[in-house]
Amino acid sequence: MQLLFPKITIAIFLAFTMMACSQDSYTTHKIANIDEASGISYCEDSNTLIVANDEGSFYEINTTGEPIARYKLGDYDLEGVVCEKEQLFFAVEKGVLLLVNRQSLQTQELKLKGKGFDLSKKSGIEGIAKVGELYYLAIQSKDKKDAKLLIVKAGANFAKVTDTIHHNIIDSAGLHYADDQLYIVSDTKNRLYVYDLKKEEIKKEINLTDFDQEGITFDNDGNVYLADDKGAVLKYNKEELGL
């Protein structure tokens, strides 16, 4: 009994120390405050970041987090974004790709069709990445059997699901593609998964700080940006994350 109190005290001390370190790391890496940041993409041509939010707005910031512009697109639950030279592709949770002209901000909805597109009330589209001429959409699910990616070809008036990949990563909330690999963040697990597309298997798992990670993107200088649904953008270098 005499040893119980010191052991409990040490355990509590270690728990608080780990929590404080986690909070310090979060604060150190936060570069911007953005309400309900649900997706993020790096724009190579402008060296800026596009950040989607759940309430139908998107923000443009520079790579140090300074705000450039904010635009309201409408009543959309935006969950991911891909920045291209002339247009933005947003993933809308309930089964739509929203195409936005970067100059005029003119929008066009592309409804998803095709085999494998069967969103349930408990799952929705939560992330998007471009692979070649195709778009990969992350389906957020709490059940491994429903945890999958939709492979989509964008047409003139709709987007067609051409294939699916079952990856067994629950609550996949954000995607980024580079070098034949998908980088997938899971909100529930607080993890970053490196997924080998050719072998269709998880190559690596990386533990993240405890926050609501819902988007991921890389720039050309080895930096990784994470969108936090609680209202922030975080910046790391690849080495810090073990990439």
Task: List, for residues 40-53, the tens digit of each pLDDT value.
Answer: 999 999 999 999 99
pLDDT tens per residue, range 133-185: 999 999 877 778 778 899 999 988 889 999 999 998 988 989 999 988 999 99
Neighbours of 6 (CB within 10 A): 9
Q: How far apart are CA 134 and CA 147, in angstroms?
A: 19
Q: For residue 37, what are the contacts with CB-CB under 8 A and spacing of at least 6?
A: 51, 52, 53, 214, 215, 227, 228, 229, 231, 232, 233
**Between residues 239 and 17, the one the model is more confident about:** 239
Residues comprising the chain, all counted = 243
Q: Which class for 147: exposed (0-12), middle (13-18), buried (19 or more C-beta within 10 A)?
A: buried
* Percentage with pLDDT > 70 across the chain: 86
pLDDT at 179: 86
- pLDDT for the residue 5: 47
Instruction: Give the whole-angstrom CA distance, residue 161 versus residue 152.
Output: 4
Best CA proximity match to 225, nearest among 11, 42, 77: 42
Supply 227's token pair.
């969108």
Task: Encode pLDDT of 54-87 as tens digits.
Answer: 999 999 999 999 999 999 999 999 999 999 999 9
Q: String of b and e for 67-102 (b: at least 16 CB within 10 Å)?
A: eeeeeebeebbbbbbbbeeeebbbbbbebbbbbbeb
Helices (H) and strands (E) in the chain, counts: 2, 20
The pLDDT value recorded for residue 118 is: 62
CATH hierarchy code of domain 32-241:
2.130.10.10
Which residues, including other chains, have CB under 8 Å from residue 112's CB and lie 6 or more apart? 95, 96, 97, 150, 152, 158, 159, 160, 161
